[in-house]
Structure 1
Amino acid sequence: MKLHLVPALTGITWVKLGVKTFFRQPLALSGLFFMFMALVSVVSLVPVIGSAISLLLVPAATLGLMTASREAFQGRFPMPSTLIAAFRAGPARSRPMLVLGAMYAGALLLVLAAAALAGGAGSAEVALNDPEVTPEMVRSAMLNSGLWLAMVVYVPVLMAFWHAPALVHWHGVSPVKSLFFSAAACWANKGAMLVYALSWVGVFMAMGLVISLLGAMLGGTQAMSIILYPSVLFMASMFHASIYFTFRDSFIADDDEALPPPTPTTGDDA
């Protein structure tokens, strides 16, 4: 396994590939993402342990969406069973994925606990009791130390788990090592990852502006609500389709012929 270094502008390429791949199979990819969100929502309703179980399934579902993106990119139709690809490869792959899911759930719960201790719980309670978003609520959230702490602490967690599901499933890396390799790859390609993140922020902001303009032209709030939900679903599906390409171009493995090879550059052993 070798770490593959890419130029910073590769981040834009990843975004373009995600969008292009989505439009090859828009209904399949958006349908799979909807199934993932529906599953997480239903599981989270289980008393006491529902939220933890839904978090435990996130790495496996992420792997499923990456597999679907690879299928669409290679010209194949991703079937619904693609979403559970992590559990179809036998115990040798499913057990480590569940361990990784448990580690993710534990890490995220610690992040949320730290945010609550720093003052994030108060704002969350207000938001739950008053579903209408007001300028005062926005200002309160922006000034909330718990929110900013959660964002800062979550960045290294996100880096550690970004490539981990694919490393565990496609390369048989142990969960603990996959976290290290994932964080190392994200750090080594931090320029490309930063450009990738900023590009998606720009895409989402542009789409939000388009939705607002269309809503105003077509009749205001009611028209905007009709446009908003499918637009968010499609944009989220595009984003998840692009995650596969960040992994594909960040690692080189001689024994993996299924993954299209990235453009050769100087790399370091992972």
Structure 2
Amino acid sequence: MKLHIVPARTGAEWVKLGLRTFWRQPLAFVSLFFLFMAAISAVSQVPLLGSLLAPVLLPFMTLGLMVATSVAYINDTQKPTAPGMFIAAFSAMRSKWRPMLVLGLISAAYFVAAVLLSILVDGGQLARVYLLDADITPEAAASAQFQTARVLVMCLNLPLSLAMWHAPALVHWHSVEPVKSLFFSLVALFRNFSAYAMFCLAWFGVFLIGGIVLGLMATLLVALGGMGMGEGASAVGGAMMVGSALILAAMSLSSTWFTFRDSFDTD
């Protein structure tokens, strides 16, 4: 396995390929994404342990969606089936559950460390909320110290997000050890910085355009509901705003496999 350096324009190509592959089987992608999000949401509700269990599932989600994308793209002679994508995704997670679990535990430990560091900023308010499920008043949540602590945790978690970008795929397709996969993922992103920057900018444009269009539609429905033209219109408008954000997220994740495929070559 070796790193492949790609030109900046490849980032836009990844987005095109992701969108094209997503629309080959949109219902399967959205269903798989919603299933993972539901699982993460469910475990996050577990008292005290929820904030630790949720990060453990993230590598499984990344791998499952990448495998589903590879199946949808490679099966170019005929339209991929949703059951085939689901079977491939869950088979991959089952076969690599041990290294995926290691990646998940690393993710959880890093998250806890980042949250604990926020104690230096707000005296432990955010840590109590995130790790101990403590209640917090709206006034305290709006305080400058609490908001600064949240920003700090987000910034501290950015390196982990970058390290986890390719790590599950490296473990699955190249049998790289979990810790080494985190390092190689970071190296790939920095060596191909221009391509990944273009990738993020292109997706930002897609999100912006999609958000504007869907936002206008949702606002219109909410306005119609407020004018007495049907309470259902307002409810549908609100649901569209939430649903569209989740669909756009599923679309963006459908392109991550292409970033991995073009960043690494097999010796």
Normalised by the length of structure 2, the TM-score is 0.81
2:56 corresponding residue in structure 1: 56
CA deviations over 1:66-106 (Å, ceiling 9, x no partner): 001111112332433344334432xxx32112111111111
2:99 is aligned with 1:96: yes
Hey, what's the Cα distance between the residues in 2 that align with 1:43 and 1:95? 19
Is the contact made by 2:115 and 2:126 (CA closer than 8 Å) also made in structure 1?
no
Hey, what's the Cα distance between the residues in 2 that align with 1:215 and 1:99? 42
Letter in 2 for 1:150: V
Match of 1:170 among 170, 173, 185: 173
Hey, what's the Cα distance between the residues in 1 that align with 2:99 and 2:117? 27
Is the contact made by 1:65 and 1:241 (CA closer than 8 Å) also made in structure 2?
yes
2:9 corresponding residue in structure 1: 9
Q: Secondary structure at the match of 1:226?
A: helix
Hey, what's the Cα distance between the residues in 1 that align with 2:205 and 2:115? 27
* CA apart distance, 1:177: 0.8
Higher helix share: 2
Hey, what's the Cα distance between the residues in 2 that align with 1:204 and 1:20? 16
1:81 corresponding residue in structure 2: 87
Q: Secondary structure at the match of 2:3?
A: strand
Letter in 1 for 2:152: L
* CA apart distance, 1:203: 1.8
Letter in 2 for 1:62: T
Change over 3 Å in CA distance of 1:145–1:226 after alignment to 2: closer
1:248 corresponding residue in structure 2: 261
Is the contact made by 1:17 and 1:242 (CA closer than 8 Å) also made in structure 2?
yes
2:221 is aligned with 1:208: no
- Name stretches of at least 5 consecutive residues in structure 2 with no aligned partner: 130-134, 224-233
- The Cα RMSD (Å) is 2.8
Letter in 2 for 1:85: S
Change over 3 Å in CA distance of 1:17–1:115 after alignment to 2: farther
Change over 3 Å in CA distance of 1:9–1:142 after alignment to 2: farther
Letter in 2 for 1:240: L
* CA apart distance, 1:202: 2.2
Letter in 1 for 2:91: A
Change over 3 Å in CA distance of 1:142–1:65 after alignment to 2: farther
Q: Secondary structure at the match of 2:72?
A: helix
2:229 is aligned with 1:226: no
Higher mean Cα deviation, 201-210 or 162-171?
201-210
| Seq. identity, % | 44
Is the contact made by 1:211 and 1:224 (CA closer than 8 Å) also made in structure 2?
no
* CA apart distance, 1:12: 1.2
Higher mean Cα deviation, 203-212 or 2-11?
203-212
- Name stretches of at least 5 consecutive residues in structure 1 with no aligned partner: 131-135, 255-270
Letter in 1 for 2:162: M
1:46 corresponding residue in structure 2: 46
Is the contact made by 1:115 and 1:146 (CA closer than 8 Å) also made in structure 2?
yes
Is the contact made by 1:30 and 1:237 (CA closer than 8 Å) also made in structure 2?
yes
1:186 corresponding residue in structure 2: 189
- Matches for 1:16-165 after TM superposition, within 5 Å: 16-75=16-75, 76-79=80-83, 80-89=86-95, 93-119=96-122, 129-130=137-138, 144-165=147-168
